[in-house]
């Protein structure tokens, strides 16, 4: 869309990813294991798999029979070509997340499966808060440093807007510990997840901002081992492209069996006041 605001500097993002260290991709390893486990639970054999990602080398090794597609604003996928698409570690850097999902749906055959894994809104909340407080103290204002990421309560709606059936969104929180905030920021660069926002400050950050950030981080988010904790929230979206004979959710109010009867439980009225 021509009038869509540009959130991400794609050239900066590509540079960051090109500098990524294969030994630092533990989030990708965790997500790959999670997706494989989910696929093992699906009673389906997929014969045409595509993976949308900015880290082709890692994901080509994880799923060697898949077609790798770059997570460009316009995906290079033909309509109704694949029965499974994995969109991995990329949606949080998209200028148009819904557009990415719509393109994935168009590339899926009827009743094809999408599994989309990316970072959610709780990711790096400690660093986000520490940077904002430090900049406010030292510089009298704040600048864009960490990409805004979707909250789990809103992300299921993205699948519905994109036209997927049976949408499900869930989150897996992960906690990593670092010697200090400087080590965390160094690791983010090694992951290829450094700041690539289009509105980011393009010059070197003042050193006293960074030292203040590290001090605030240690004070508020230090652990019992004398290190600091960092949260990474892995979001997984699951959706099916519409197809004939596909299982459909029941309409609200159409149930014929009471939950209490099914569980063998005794209901207690909410209002227990006496007349």
pLDDT computed for residue 203 by the predictor? 67
Band of pLDDT at residue 159, cut at 50, 70 and 90 = very high
Q: Is the pLDDT of residue 272 over 80?
A: no
Provide the pLDDT for residue 29: 98
Q: Which two tokens stand for residue 194?
A: 């450094």
Question: Each residue of 112-155: pLDDT tens digit?
Answer: 999 999 999 999 999 999 999 998 998 776 666 677 788 888 88
Q: Which comes out higher in pLDDT, residue 79 or 142?
A: 79
Higher pLDDT, 154 or 100: 100
Angle between helices 207-221 and 181-191 (to 10 degrees): 110
Residue 247 pLDDT > 80: no
Q: How confident is the model at residue 1 (pLDDT cuts 50, 70, 90)?
A: very low
Average pLDDT for the chain: 88
- pTM equals 0.85
**Cβ atoms 70, 43 nearer than 8 A:** no
Instruction: Assess whether pLDDT exceeds 80 at residue 239.
Output: yes
CB-based burial, 224-237: b 16+ in 10 Å, e otherwise: eeebbebbbbbbbb
The pLDDT, as a whole number, for residue 275 is 46
Per the model's pLDDT, the better-predicted residue between 64 and 4 turns out to be: 64
User: 52-61 pLDDT, tens per residue?
Assistant: 999 999 999 9
pLDDT confidence of residue 161: 94
pLDDT band at 265 (very low <50, low <70, confident <90, very high): low
Of the given ranges (90-104, 197-211, 212-226), which has the lowest mean pLDDT?
Answer: 197-211
User: How much is the pLDDT for 189?
Assistant: 96
Q: How distant is the alpha carbon of residue 217 from its chain centre? A: 24
User: How would residue 9 be classed by pLDDT, with cut points 50, 70 and 90?
Assistant: very high
**What average pLDDT score do residues 36-43 get?**
94
Contacts of 151 (CB under 8 A, 6+ apart): 120, 121
Residue 188: phi, psi to the nearest 5?
A: -60, -40
């Amino acid at each position: 869309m021509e009038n869509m605001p540009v959130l991400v500097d794609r050239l900066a993002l590509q540079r960051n990813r090109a500098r990524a260290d294969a030994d630092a991709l533990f989030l990708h390893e965790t997500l790959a294991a999670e997706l494989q486990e989910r696929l093992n639970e699906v009673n389906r054999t997929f014969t045409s798999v595509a993976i949308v990602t900015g880290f082709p080398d890692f994901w080509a090794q994880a799923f060697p029979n898949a077609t790798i597609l770059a997570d460009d604003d316009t995906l290079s996928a033909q309509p109704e070509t694949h029965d499974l698409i994995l969109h991995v570690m990329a949606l949080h850097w998209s200028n148009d997340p819904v557009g990415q999902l719509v393109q994935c749906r168009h590339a899926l055959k009827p009743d094809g499966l999408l599994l989309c894994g990316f970072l959610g809104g709780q990711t790096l909340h400690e660093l986000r808060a520490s940077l904002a407080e430090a900049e406010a103290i030292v510089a009298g204002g704040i600048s864009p440093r960490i990409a805004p990421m979707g909250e789990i309560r809103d992300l299921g709606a993205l699948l519905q807007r994109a036209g997927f059936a049976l949408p499900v969104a869930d989150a897996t929180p992960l906690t990593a510990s670092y010697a200090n905030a400087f080590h965390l920021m160094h690791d983010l660069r090694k992951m290829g997840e450094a700041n690539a926002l289009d509105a980011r400050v393009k010059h070197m950050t003042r050193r006293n901002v960074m030292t203040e950030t590290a001090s605030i981080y240690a004070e508020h988010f230090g652990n019992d081992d004398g290190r600091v904790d960092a949260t990474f929230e892995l979001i997984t979206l699951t959706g099916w492209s519409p197809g004939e004979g596909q299982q459909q959710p029941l309409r609200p109010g159409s149930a014929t069996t009471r939950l209490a009867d099914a569980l063998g439980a005794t209901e207690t009225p909410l209002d227990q006041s006496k007349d």
